[in-house]
Every structure is written in C-alpha cells, then in structure tokens.
Amino acid sequence: MKTLGEFIIEKQHEFPHATGELSALLSAIKLGAKIINRDINKAGLVDITGTSGISNIQGEMQMKLDVFANETLKAALEARGVVAGIASEEEDKLVIFDNQKSHHGKYVVLMDPLDGSSNIDVNVSVGTIFSIYQRVTPVGQPIQESDFLQPGHKQVAAGYIIYGSSTMLVYSTGCGVHAFTYDPSIGVFCLSHESVKFPEKGNIYSINEGFYSKFPVGVKQYIKYCQQEDQKTNRPYTSRYIGSLVSDFHRNLLKGGIYIYPQTAQYPNGKLRLLYECNPIAFLAEQAGGKASDGYQRILDILPSELHQRSPFFVGVTQMVNDSEQFMQKDSQ
C-alpha cells in the first residue's frame, strides 16, 4: 500500500529541481479533503440550506457545507505558505493571502470547493475540484488577476476529490493521472489506480436531456447519433447523468464516456466555469488520453478574460469528443 504522501514525495524526487513546495501544496489539499470528507459524511445532520442549529466547540453555528469546504481549503492552503492566493466559486473576487510567507508563495490555486453541493441533501456524491498555476507576477508582491487568467495548458497540477461510496483524490502534475482511495480507519489516501487512462472506446453519454429543446442543433444531432442502433460502433450508447460533474467525469474516465454541458438558452456560454471546473477536468482528461473542448476549440487553449467566466464543455474519450465536434462544426457551417 502506498499512501498519497509517500507518492507525492516519490514523484517530487523525480524532479531534481523540485523544492517541495508543490508537494506541500498537494498535502494541504489532502488535509482539506479529509476534513471536508468528515463533515460531508455527517451531512444528514447539517441543514445544508443554512445552519445546522448545532454549534461547534467554538460555539459557532455550523455553516453550509460548500461555505465550510471553501473556508477549510482556504485555511489549509494559507497555512502552508506556498500559495500566494486563491480564486474560488465561493468568492466573488480573488483572495490574497496576507501573511508574509504567502507573499513569497509561487503558486495560485483555483477551486470549486464543493461542486454539485445541491446533491448533498439527496445523498448523491459531490466533489472538490482544484487547479494549480505558478504565479506570473513577481514573487513578494501581492498577486493580481493576471496570475489566475492563464490558459489551462499552463496548469502545474489539477485534480478532484469525489465524496462518493468511497472518497477518492484524483490528480495529475502532468505525468499521468493517479487516484487514491481514502481509508478512514487509518486516515490516509492509498494509491488505488496508478496512471489512469480512458478506455480507447466509450459507450456512455452524460448530458441533461431535459434541456434537449434548448440545445444547439449539433448537440441534438449527436444525442440522436448516440441513440441510433449500430453494432459496429456499439450503439446505442448508455445514458448516465448524475448532475455532479466530478461524479459523471469520474465514471466516464474509468468506464469510457463523454460528458457534455453545452450552451443552452439559460446558459448561452454554457453553465460550467472555465477556470475551476472545465480547465482542471480538461487537464486530467488529456493526461488520461482523452480530450476536452467547447465543441470547437481545445479547452486548455482558451485565454480567460474573467475569473468566473463560463464555457460549453465536451469532455471524455477522444473519439467521442471528436464525433460530437463533427456534429457541432457541421451545424455551424
């Protein structure tokens, strides 16, 4: 059994110039994940729409789990002194870590602390998504938005934690995708899937078909393609949609599939956030031999213009993303 901590250090030693700062950062995320996991498992006791009515030992009322997850990860990252600041779905603006040590941190982190949190009150799995960059402004000065508005291919590392039937941490530093399963009896993440790759072919498609009438024609045509009978290409595919990006992506990564959240009438630029949902998942997808686009261009090449901008998202088995792009591009001609 190899723990996440051992694996991180082992991988660090493969980089002669590694200073251990990224290892410290990943360990902070590991700590945050353990704390969030503990409270998610008590979710039945916490009224996620507000406070639980239960006060903790400091006499503070328990807070909504996604706010709790955000505060937990912020505190863990700030304490390590290697992160200069963060951007989060739970924060309108970027958060500069004000302590002296963090001013010299060379990394910034973007995160969705608890994606799919609306599923918690129906006991459906949810996730934390994180994305790590080296800052572009000089170390020692306060970070700026430009440190965060980098194209996704500049990511140093990315990953997610999925709080499901088991809790797993899945990440990549650009040398493959590795997955660790949490063993609560000893409080460690153990390596369970090394160098995860998408299957060559997939037959699962994940999309909220309730919005079918609002989808672009190319998406409608691709859905019909997935539903057609064709033995040679193993169609019809299976429709699976949990409504939690991390859960849908994780299943499709292991079993082979595509997840699509396209532009709709309600979300003309797509619903998912480019910086802390699409980019980290796209980074993992490519590291696992898959593909991620907005239907037309590579997600990781998009130059962001604002922290919370949205993007249409097509991610999964390369062949399946290619097929969907063909319908999108034919439709736009």
Residue 100, token pair as written in the block: 């002296």
Q: Judged by CB under 6 A, which of 30, 135, 271, 310 binds ligand P6P? A: 271
Instruction: Select the residue interacting with ligand P6P from 5, 151, 216, 243 (CB under 6 A).
Output: 243
| 148 in Cβ contact with 133 (< 8 Å) | yes
CA nearest to 170, candidates 287, 260, 284: 284
CB of 109 to ligand P6P, least distance (A): 19
Which of the ranges 154-162, 224-232, 237-245, 304-312 carries the binding residues for ligand P6P, by CB under 6 A?
A: 237-245
CB of 123 to ligand P6P, least distance (A): 15
Question: Considering only residues 115, 147, 294, 325, which one is a binding residue for ligand P6P as defined by CB under 6 A?
Answer: 115
The C-alpha atoms of residue 144 and residue 148 are separated, in whole angstroms, by 8
CB 115 to ligand P6P: min, Å: 5
Region of 316 on the Ramachandran plot (φ > 0 left; ψ -120 to 50 alpha; else beta): left
Give the HSE-up count for residue 309: Cα atoms under 13 Å, Cβ half-sphere.
Answer: 16
Number of other residues whose CB lies within 10 A of the CB of residue 15? 11
- 57 pairs with which residues across the strands? none
- Closer residue to ligand P6P (CB): 30 or 250: 250
Contact call for residue 116 and ligand P6P (CB under 6 A): yes
Least gap, CB of 27 to ligand P6P (angstroms): 26
| Shortest separation between residue 259's beta carbon and ligand P6P, angstroms | 7
Q: Which stretch binds ligand P6P (CB under 6 A): 76-84, 161-169, 177-185, 241-249?
A: 241-249
Structural tokens at position 291: 């593909």
Task: Residue 32: name the closest of 160, 124, 204 by CA.
Answer: 160
Site for ligand P6P in 176-215 (CB under 6 A): 208
Quick one: which segment of 15-23, 91-99, 172-180, 240-248 binds ligand P6P (CB under 6 A)?
A: 240-248
CA distance 95 to 271: 23
For residues 225 and 325, give the distance between their C-alpha atoms in angstroms, rounded to a whole number: 12
The piece of 10-18, 100-108, 194-202, 238-246 that touches ligand P6P (CB under 6 A) is: 238-246
* Contacts for 150 with CB less than 8 Å, ≥ 6 apart: 133, 136, 304
Q: Residue 106 CB, nearest distance to ligand P6P (Å)?
A: 30
Strand 157-163 to strand 167-172: parallel, antiparallel, or no bridges (unpaired)? antiparallel
**Minimum CB distance to ligand P6P smaller for 129 or for 300:** 129
Q: Which of 188, 245, 274, 285 binds ligand P6P (CB under 6 A)?
A: 245
Nearest to 319 by CA among 225, 244, 228, 250: 225
What does the binding site for ligand P6P look like in residue numbers (CB under 6 A)? 115-116, 208, 243-245, 248, 271-272
